[in-house]
Amino acid sequence: MNIRLVDKALEFSSERHKGQLDDQGRPYFFAHIVQVHSILKDVTDDIETLCAGILHDIIEDTDTTYEELVHEFNKPIAELVKELTHKGNRENGYYFPYLESRKAVMVKFADRLSNLSRMDDWPGDRQQVYLGMSKFWKTELPGDKVASPNTPDPKDK
């Protein structure tokens, strides 16, 4: 494993996310980015995936550009980060990246797991929306107010 590239991504991301805080007021880099990296380390040793996990929010949350990632790392890592970058905006209803690769899905799962584990202080309605957007299988828990994407429409019965 090219640990130097992972270390470089950690250092680069730490510097770029400096001063950012999560919803609980903790440094964002340590609360989220390091957690995503830790989750990914448990399931893969692929350098591109690990680096993309560390860098997954860097284009949308900092002034870092795709071109800068190509220069600092390489094109495959920059492409993976670009694939993970949210497109659109929350207001127009399209805010998720269009994931095409297995590596991007792995990073997005780690990102989602980190966010789900840290959402205790979020307002209830924000939690419900995030949970609803995170479901990709049919689940109905007591008190669920948001249907999963696979929940049948009652009109279809």
List the catalytic residue out of 61, 68, 72, 144: 61
List the catalytic residue out of 7, 11, 15, 60: 60
79 is catalytic: no
- What does the block give as tokens for 29? 């880099």
23 is catalytic: no
Query: Three-state SS string across the chain, please?
Result: CCHHHHHHHHHHHHHHCCCCECCCCCEHHHHHHHHHHHHHHCCCCCHHHHHHHHHCCHHHHCCCCHHHHHHHCCHHHHHHHHHHCCCCECCCCECCCCCCCHHHHHHHHHHHHHHHHCCCCCCHHHHHHHHHHHCCCCCCCCCCCCCCCCCCCHHHC
Catalytic residue set: 60-61
